[in-house]
Structure 1
Amino acid sequence: MPPPTSALRARRPFILSQYRSQWVCPSCLTQSRRLHTEVVQTPSQSSTSPPQVSAKQARSAKSTAKGAGKKNSDSKWEVTVGLEIHAQLNAPRKLFSYAATSFNAPPNSRVAPFDASIPGIQPKLNIPTIVPAIRAAVAFDCRINRRSAFDRKHYFYKDQPNGYQITQFYHPFASDGKIVLNELDGLDPSEVVEIGIKQIQMEQDTAKSIFQPSTEDTPARTLVDLNRAGSALVEIITTPSLKSSKHAAACLKKIQSILRASTAAIDGMEKGGVRCDVNVSIQERGLPGLGRRVEIKNLNSVKAVQESIEAEIKRQIVVRESGGEIEGETRGWDAVKGESRKLRSKEGEVDYRYKPDAELPPLIIEESLVNHIRSTLPPLPDQIISGLMNEPFALTLKDARTMIDLDDGERVNYYKAIYEDLLAREGFKPGSKHLGKLIGNWTLHELGGRLAASFIAWLDNPVTTVQMADLLFNLQSGTLTAGNAKRVLDHLVTFNDSKIRVAELIEEYDLASRSTEGEDDEGLIKLANHIISEYPEKAEQVRSGKKPNLKNFFIGNLMKATGGKVDVQACKQVIEKLFSA
């Protein structure tokens, strides 16, 4: 029987250039989308029992392993870690079908015939999915290979209808990139760590498996939702150059922030848009080569990555110190127990039977498109952090890093919108306190703290940028004291109404600051004398110099007595004057 005609026909390559990409709707390349994903761990298979060791040997090995995931300089073991990150691309449609990507659509409602492996349906590359992938590769300083090709990775599982995954194992579209970690990423000021990126490849996502436990009426079962099947992914493979769990966590954070900043993949691990596998090995320090690699699959948070690496390092040290050998295997992570479990023996290249996909021609990426994407790339995380630390914002390094780490970077946009709103207001005076730091404090700490205490996600933040700008405008102009400004913010968070105006709240609850000249205000002085007379013992301790800090007690009571309508500095001036008389 002759081979299928699809395997014999002359294949014209996909040629992607700047000019061909002009027909792609720009909003499709940058629009925010939500992909609903959930990683379900595979039930563990039977694992080989570790060698039997005495209690003394185990205690000695665990003592050696303690802290090995964070600092390895004092250990005889050298740790090597590599990451494989799978990120869902910011693309409106799937990689090889016309089906739309989705976040919360009803199960199996975004499925084309190819996604369900209907016989006779062939894949057709969606060109717009390539553009965000190139943006990611450029952001990671990769070499964009002009010619790349697609391969089939064969394995059987219920979430893979075709029985194979289309990927780019042999000829990826990007390679030889790097990530540099430094002080901006939480490392010590003297630390600079460069991690190589071996390659970035395009591939399909799998379907979502949903496990349902048994009930009185039905046995336990696993359902499959094909909405995610075939969505466009990039797999980012680092070189085995990470030496600690701390560096691995910082690297993963930076990869996520770069993907968001470049708009290549806008949904992070907290939304299921990024998943990570880690490869861990240990070797006696000074010996050539690397130890036997163990892979931990499907980690869905930075915390899980860091903790699983530390646990795996300890486990491997216990085995090696006890005279055992490390098996090459794939393991799953149990975050509740804080330990990994064996899933299966480690697969090799031959196990997946990689072969070129006969139905997909090569992909040709023209240099003109790469240059265009490089010239239009948005600011990346290091640039954003530096910008927030410099004028006009002048945030601290800690606040700047927190700003871009939180909520997929959305808090940076919120912060800048308030800043621009205030500067555009007629008659606004920034005041003695730096405006950028003031907005940062209220955005990160005052508002952020209230949302966290109320279990409100940033996505559901009820306080608009206009309301926050109104609040800070009244605070800076002296209409509101800090205490009453916090009361207004409490009201805005609690009542969750974007139509509420700050000026109306100030008037309705009589929160406007009382006009006062501090130490020359007779009414304030009279009120302060009354408060001091109520606490003669404390007043005497202040006058005698035994407890001068008790002045703060009287300042607080004076502010409370004025209903928070008098500025703290005015109250302080009055108390200082009365005790120094």
Structure 2
Amino acid sequence: MPPSTSILRAHRPFVVRYPGQWVCPSCLTQSRRLHTGTIETSHLQPATAPPPTKQPRPAKSTPKVGGREGTDSKWEVTVGLEIHAQLNAPRKLFSYAATSFNAPPNTRVAPFDASIPGIQPKLNIPTIVPAIRAAVAFDCRINRRSTFDRKHYFYKDQPNGYQITQFYHPFASDGKIVLNELDGLDPSEVVEIGIKQVQMEQDTAKSIFQPSTEDTPARTLVDLNRAGSALVEIITTPSLKSSKHAAACLKKIQSILKASTAAIDGMEKGGVRCDVNVSIQEKGLPGLGRRVEIKNLNSVKAVQESIEAEIKRQIGVRESGGEIEGETRGWDAVRGESRKLRSKEGEVDYRYKPDAELPPLIIDESLVSHIKSTLPPLPDQILLELMNEPFALTLKDARTMVDLDDGARVHYYKAIYEDLSARQDVKQGSKHLGKLIGNWTLHELGGRLASSFIGWLDNQVTAAQMADLLSNLQNGTLTAGNAKRVLDHLVTFNDPTVRVSGLIEEYDLATRSLSEEDDEGLVRIAESIISQYPEKAEQVRSGKKPNLKNFFIGGLMKATGGKVDVQACKKVIEKMFSA
């Protein structure tokens, strides 16, 4: 009997899903042993795995210890991160199967991924390139020679009984990232985080737990689509001192992975997962406290909250006279607490050994040089570019622009700026042009898309349409109010062929030049508005609240349907209150 059979019996029923069906493990084991690939039809069940039910989140998150996670008490906190990111590669690390997030279960599986006996791994060379891009972006040393090792453990999502990784000799090491004001820290804070090593390894399969029902016992379904996908694991040094810094570090690592195109999908799509290692030690004592690992965190918020809760738990144990056990814990986001999964494994438990079926990986310096010279701009470079002339965005807007839509919003913004800058009817060199485009791209357009439930990928309002709109706004053809009305129409139509000039003409939105007769009519409207609010008018005349003039200017613009320029309305109101 294969060794895996007895292990599987020690767990809840282990079920592997073949295309369209769930298959029991005993049948799969017989199929492997006989090398026939056949499956007893009596063991097939329809693939009806209901999605897990989501529990409501608690109203309050776990409170921080001592206001800053114990840093103002006698305890010193140390945190390290282990981040696993699926590489931007079309094939798996050691098999020909395609990578996929959305394919039906067990439709992207090669024999090696399912641990069919006699099948050997073969490294897919293209997977190395995005891994090197990630390591170069983290300022790592690329080791010319690296090797692959086997990390042994038995679990239902690991068909081979071991994972191929790079424990002893990774392909990259000794890197760093720097956290500063651009990452949300205080202006005086600069934190350097060491990257101990970056290594390639296989991903595991995906486990889906099904609770028991009246008809079926509790069971775990396994989808092998993810098994064997190429991962890059980034291991930081234990140099983070708070959950705030850990969250900022994770955000930056994610943004660097995306910007360098090493990994396309982030935590929100399951492409990045994080384990955190937390320890506490009394201040002044040498060394670090005993490390506790929290596994498989899938959001920045979960990382921050789990660290805060773990620090609080460990301080409570130590202050009550107990000792911290080295263990692996899981995070329960609903209860806001971690729970013990197992005692912490060490190197001996995993029985690391070199993989005899895989030769060393030799990386030529010319490849590294080429990747360095062609690396796309990284997040800090993009932020500084957006904050400096000619764009002159605020840090908040620049940060939002970079974070949204995997950087697509930045390209959209720059396309509008380039279009507007080339137009003769636009004030060239305007210090406000970059901020104007940023405001309309992020807030006006972004807000309307969100309220209309239109994702950025489905946005059909083109950069050229936005440039036309803002050109008419800046040259005075449209007032701000009517420009917003035009944008409402563009988002509603969501059609790249709609012309801004056509909307202005069709709805008669163009600003009018005032004749003497119009000027007199504007004065009469202003008099009517002022007479409706005598108390406010008296506060303006007495000088108590001069800013209330803006109230009357807005009322006058609204009364004219937004067709009169704000400066003309302001001139009339100023004249009437100065008389």
**TM-score when normalising by structure 2:** 0.85
**Equivalent residue in structure 2 for 1:291, among 289, 295, 315:** 289
Query: Is the contact between residue 150 and residue 168 of structure 1 (CA under 8 Å) also seen in structure 2?
Result: yes
Q: Flag the 1:511–1:288 CA change in 2: closer, same or farther, 3 A.
A: same
Quick one: distance in 2 between partners of 1:100 and 1:172? 25
**Structure 2 counterpart of 1:343, one-letter code:** L
Aligned equivalents of 1:298, 1:457: Cα separation in 2 = 28
Per-residue CA deviations over 1:471-490 (Å, capped at 9, x if unaligned) read 21221122221112222223
The one of 483, 489, 492 equivalent to 1:491 is: 489
Give deviations 1:7-33, integer Å, cap 9, x for gaps. xxxxxxxxxxxxxxxxxxxxxxxxxxx
Aligned residue among 335, 338, 351 for 2:336: 338
Instruction: Point out the more displaced range, 126-135 or 509-518.
Output: 509-518
- Aligned counterparts, 1:162-241, within 5 A: 162-241=160-239
Q: Which residue, 432, 440, 449 being the options, matches 2:447?
A: 449
> Which range moves more in the overlay, 489-498 or 464-473?
489-498
Residue 305 of structure 1 corresponds to 303
Q: Secondary structure at the match of 1:478?
A: coil
What is the letter of the counterpart of residue 448 of structure 2? R
- CA gap of 1:224–1:443, structure 2 versus 1, over 3 A, is same
Quote the Cα distance in structure 1 between the aligned partners of 2:201 and 2:52.
20
1:132 to 1:517, Cα distance in 2 relative to 1, 3 A? farther
Equivalent residue, structure 2, for 1:396: 394
Q: Structure 1: which 5+ residue stretches go unaligned?
A: 1-38, 42-61
Question: Aligned partner of 1:144: which letter?
Answer: I
Cα distance change on mapping 1:335 and 1:463 into 2, 3 Å = farther
Can you give the 5+ residue segments of structure 2 that lack an aligned partner in the other structure?
A: 1-50, 54-61
**Partner amino acid for 1:440?**
G
Q: In the aligned structure 1, how far is the partner of 2:500 from the partner of 2:308? A: 49
What is the CA–CA distance in structure 2 between the aligned matches of 1:177 and 1:501, rounded to whole Å?
A: 51
TM-score, length of structure 1 as denominator length: 0.85
> Are the structure 2 counterparts of residues 472 and 212 from structure 1 closer, same or farther at C-alpha, using a change threshold of 3 Å?
farther
**Greater alpha carbon shift after TM alignment, 274-283 vs 382-391:** 382-391
Q: CA deviation at 1:426?
A: 4.8
Match of 2:133 in 1: 135
Tell me the CA shift for residue 520 of structure 1: 8.8
Counterparts of 2:64 and 2:465, CA distance in 1: 55
Task: Call closer, same or farther: CA 1:519–1:578 in 2, change over 3 Å.
Answer: farther
Report which structure shows greater RCO (CA 8 Å, sep ≥6): 1
Q: Secondary structure of the residue that 1:521 maps to in structure 2?
A: helix
Matches within 5 A, 1:9-48: none
Question: CA 1:210 to 1:466, structure 2 compared with 1: closer, same or farther past 3 Å?
Answer: farther
3-state SS in 1 of match to 2:139: coil
Q: Give the CA deviation at 1:519.
A: 12
- Pick which of 324-333 and 462-471 moved more: 462-471
Judged with a 3 Å threshold, the aligned counterparts in structure 2 of structure 1 residues 145 and 310 are, in CA distance, closer, same or farther, namely same
Residue 470 of structure 2 is matched in structure 1 by 472
1:341-352 equivalences under 5 Å are: 341-352=339-350
Q: Label 1:63 to 1:133 Cα distance change in 2 as closer, same or farther (>3 A).
A: closer
Distance 1:314 1:462, change over 3 A: farther
Aligned to 1:146: 144
Q: What amino acid does structure 2 have at the position aligned with 1:67?
A: G
Instruction: Note if contact 1:519-1:577 (Cα within 8 Å) is conserved in structure 2.
Output: no
Matched, 1:66 2:45: no
Distance across 2 between alignment mates of 1:289 and 1:40: 42
What is the match of residue 580 of structure 1? 578
- Within 1, Cα distance between the matches of 2:504 and 2:419? 20
Deviation at 1:411, TM superposition (A): 1.6
How has the CA–CA distance of structure 1 residues 410 and 418 changed in structure 2, closer, same or farther, with 3 Å as cutoff? Answer: same
Query: What one-letter code is carried by the residue in structure 2 that aligns with 1:270?
Result: E
Q: Match for residue 551 of structure 1?
A: 549
Cα displacement (A) at 1:433: 5.3
Amino acid at match of 1:66: G
* Partner SS, residue 199 of structure 1: strand
Letter of the 2:66 counterpart: K
1:406 aligned residue (397, 404, 407): 404
**1:550, distance to aligned residue in structure 2 (A):** 2.7
Matched residues, number: 521
Partner of 2:14: none
Question: How far does residue 525 in structure 1 lie from its aligned partner after superposition?
Answer: 2.0
Q: CA deviation at 1:455?
A: 4.3
- Structure 1 contact 64–75 (Cα < 8 Å) conserved: no
Partners of 2:65 and 2:308 within 8 A in 1: no
Superposed counterparts of 1:455-466, under 5 Å? 455-466=453-464
Quick one: which amino acid aligns to residue 404 of structure 1?
Answer: V
**CA–CA separation in structure 2 for the residues paired with 1:444 and 1:430:** 22
CA contact (8 A) 1:331 1:341 kept: yes
Deviation at 1:536, TM superposition (A): 3.3
Q: State the match for 2:86 in structure 1.
A: 88
Report SS of the residue matched to 2:564: coil
Stretch of structure 1 that moved more, 406-415 or 130-139:
406-415
Q: Residue 312 of structure 2 corresponds to which residue in structure 1?
A: 314
Q: Secondary structure at the match of 1:120?
A: coil
Check conservation: 1:518, 1:571, Cα contact below 8 A: no
Partner of 1:514, secondary structure, is coil
Corresponding position of 2:110:
112
More deviation, 552-561/198-207: 552-561
Is the CA contact (8 Å cut-off) linking 1:249 and 1:306 kept in structure 2?
yes
Identical amino acids, percent of aligned pairs = 89
| Contact residue 95 and residue 231 of structure 1 kept, 8 A | yes
Q: Deviations over 1:447-467 (max 9, x none)?
A: 223333444433333433232
Does the aligned pair in 1 maintain the 2:193–2:240 contact within 8 Å? yes
**Structure 1 residues 221, 135: CA separation in 2 closer, same or farther (over 3 Å shift)?**
same
The Cα of 1:365 is off from its aligned counterpart by 0.6
TM superposition shift of 1:104: 1.6
Q: CA RMSD in A?
A: 2.3
**Structure 1 Cα separation of the partners of residues 201 and 231 of structure 2:** 5
Deviations 1:67-112 (A, max 9, x none): 243x61x211000000000011111111111111123222222221
Letter in 1 for 2:230: A
